[in-house]
């Protein structure tokens, strides 16, 4: 039947388009259970490739002959071997080019908002559940929570004929490496971060910039301790219309306040943020978060992740009418003990106190995002 490679980009088109296909994942069971390509119509079989070295005869009856099959492994090699055997056995089969490494690194832009003053692009890193943004206005652009793939942002800036002049990180990320400092060095943009996050390099302290204004953009910093995982998490309110909520508010939940080992204390700060700051923001403001957990459940019909604040409030009963004790107890119970893998190394690199090679960066980031606490009922 033939065998071919499928790129992460093409596989994502299948996922977003809800194509009915079959994934044969040949990584070990723990890795598969921990993190996989997810989508609405996908069926799975997971058998480690070392059980298939002598042939696929014993598994062929578990695979559909009428569907497209994609074989996936960590970095590609094993999936090529298995795909070749399945092709010889008469299956219509592809292997994921670059394996889960390429899935982890794939991100793509979607336009989420446009008016006479600004245009906003969301960069969806589908394998990690990480979101970053570019806000364009006239000849300048602001980047929010950039990933380490700085070329993706500079390429769009060139295409749109804008200069990246401002870069903001909502906090020191625990599950992925920030590209903020590197992008600032490349473009000459100002890079903003909360001083309380403890970064070891030069940056503009958000404590000194409660407003950032340029072209037709006014960005307000909700810069109290709005902890997702860190003492200095912030949200950014743009033109009173869009709330870039970092890891404070998600479409289906709130940021987890337990990664610093101070769940109860930080949950109180989160309560103050939600009840004294976010509660004052109008229902029709659009929330654009820093992460999402499920592409199926959170992507809206326009193809991006975000929702009106009023709808999020309705879905998350924890955001209204609770006492501080009720809130803290609920958040503490919801916080997963499953911390992001390598998060201490990742935070150290993002603080600028540890260096990393490209290969090490890739290895550190492999795996799912575990930054949300879900409160949807």
Q: Which of 161, 289, 164, 281 is nearest to 214 (CA)?
A: 164
Task: Please pick, among 6, 72, 73, 121, the residue that the annotation labels catalytic.
Answer: 73
Q: Residue 133's CB: how many other CB atoms inside 10 A? A: 26
Q: Is the CA virtual torsion 119, 125, 126, 131 positive or negative?
A: negative
Contact 332, 264 (CB under 8 A): yes
Instruction: Kindly state the tokens that stand for 28.
Output: 């070990």
User: Is residue 371 among the annotated active site residues?
Assistant: no
Provide the H-helix boundaries in the chain: 8-16, 29-34, 77-88, 99-105, 150-160, 180-187, 263-272, 295-298, 309-315, 324-334, 343-351, 358-365
Distance between CA 190 and CA 17 in Å, rounded?
A: 38
Q: Which of 138, 111, 161 is nearest to 217 (CA)?
A: 138
Tell me which long-range contacts 209-218 makes (C-beta under 8 A, separation of at least 24).
212/142, 212/166, 212/168, 214/137, 214/140, 214/142, 214/165, 214/166, 215/137, 215/138, 215/139, 215/140, 216/116, 216/117, 216/118, 216/137, 216/138, 217/117, 217/118, 217/135, 217/137, 217/140, 217/142
Distance between CA 32 and CA 26 in Å, rounded?
A: 8
- Cα first-last separation, the chain: 46
Instruction: Kindly state the tokens that stand for 126.
Output: 């589908």
Distance between CA 320 and CA 28 in Å, rounded?
A: 43
Q: Which of 159, 112, 155 is nearest to 135 (CA)?
A: 112
Distance between CA 106 and CA 97 in Å, rounded?
A: 12
Distance between CA 70 and CA 23 in Å, rounded?
A: 5
Distance between CA 199 and CA 95 in Å, rounded?
A: 41
| Active site residues per annotation | 73
């Amino acid at each position: 039947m033939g065998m071919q490679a499928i790129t992460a980009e093409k596989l994502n088109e299948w996922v977003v388009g809800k194509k009915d296909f079959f994934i044969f994942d040949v990584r070990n069971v723990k890795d598969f259970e921990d993190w996989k390509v997810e989508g609405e119509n996908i069926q799975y079989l997971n058998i480690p490739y070392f059980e298939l070295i002598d042939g696929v005869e014993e598994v062929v009856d578990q695979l559909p002959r009428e569907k497209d099959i994609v074989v996936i492994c960590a970095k590609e090699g094993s999936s090529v071997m298995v795909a070749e055997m399945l092709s010889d056995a008469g299956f219509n089969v592809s292997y994921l080019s670059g394996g889960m490494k390429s899935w982890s690194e794939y991100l793509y832009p979607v336009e989420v908002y446009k008016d006479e003053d600004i245009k906003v692009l969301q960069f969806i890193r589908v394998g990690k559940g990480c979101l970053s943004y570019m806000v364009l206005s006239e000849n300048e652009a602001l980047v929010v929570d950039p990933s380490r793939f700085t070329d993706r942002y500079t390429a769009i800036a060139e295409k749109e004929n804008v200069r990246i002049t401002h870069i903001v990180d909502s906090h020191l990320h625990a599950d992925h490496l920030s590209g903020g400092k590197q992008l600032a060095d490349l473009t000459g943009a100002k890079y903003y971060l909360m001083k309380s996050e403890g970064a070891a390099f030069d940056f503009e302290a958000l404590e000194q910039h409660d407003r950032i204004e340029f072209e037709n953009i006014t960005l307000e910093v909700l810069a109290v301790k709005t902890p997702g995982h860190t003492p200095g998490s912030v949200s950014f309110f743009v033109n009173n219309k869009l709330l870039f909520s970092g890891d404070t508010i998600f479409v289906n939940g709130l940021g987890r306040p337990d990664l610093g080992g101070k769940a109860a204390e930080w949950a109180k700060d989160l309560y103050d943020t939600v009840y004294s700051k976010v509660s004052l923001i109008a229902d029709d403001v659009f929330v654009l978060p820093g992460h999402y957990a499920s592409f199926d459940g959170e992507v809206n019909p326009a193809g991006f992740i975000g929702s009106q604040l009023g709808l999020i409030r309705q879905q998350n009963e924890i955001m209204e009418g609770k006492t501080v004790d009720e809130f803290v107890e609920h958040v503490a119970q919801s916080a997963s003990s499953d911390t992001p893998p390598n998060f201490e190394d990742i935070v150290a690199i993002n603080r600028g106190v540890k260096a990393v090679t490209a290969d090490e960066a890739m290895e550190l980031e492999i795996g799912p995002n575990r930054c949300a606490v879900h409160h949807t009922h």
